[in-house]
Amino acid sequence: MSSERELLEKWRELPQDKQQEVVEFVEFLHHKTTRVQPVTAAKKPQLGERLRQIRTKIVASGVPLLTQDEIEKEIASRRGGLQDTDT
């Protein structure tokens, strides 16, 4: 059995969310190997476009976007600055 066929068969057995992760990983690898460039100002539009694509996927999935307050709390929590004020 060819590697391509084996990969496809295993991919088909995965749940849909895991299939999407595989697709995104392959896209990452493809991008990494085909576009090795120094970081320049030209990268900014590509990053912005990628962020818009991610946002579109989140919105399409039905997951609600975070509010500004929720974003600030998430950042504070990850930086160790969120304090429990209920006590």
The identity of residue 30, as a single letter, is H
As a whole number, mean pLDDT of residues 38-56 equals: 75
Residue located via tokens 């600030």? 72
Per-residue confidence at 43, pLDDT binned at 50, 70, 90?
A: low
Nearest to 20 by CA among 60, 48, 52, 74: 60
**pLDDT for 12 beyond 60:** yes
CA-to-CA separations, 21 to 13, 14, 26, 57, 73, in angstroms, rounded? 14, 10, 9, 12, 27
More confident residue, 85 or 71: 71
pLDDT in tens, 57-66: 888 888 888 8
Q: How many CB atoms lie within 10 A of CB 20?
A: 13
Question: Model-level pTM?
Answer: 0.39
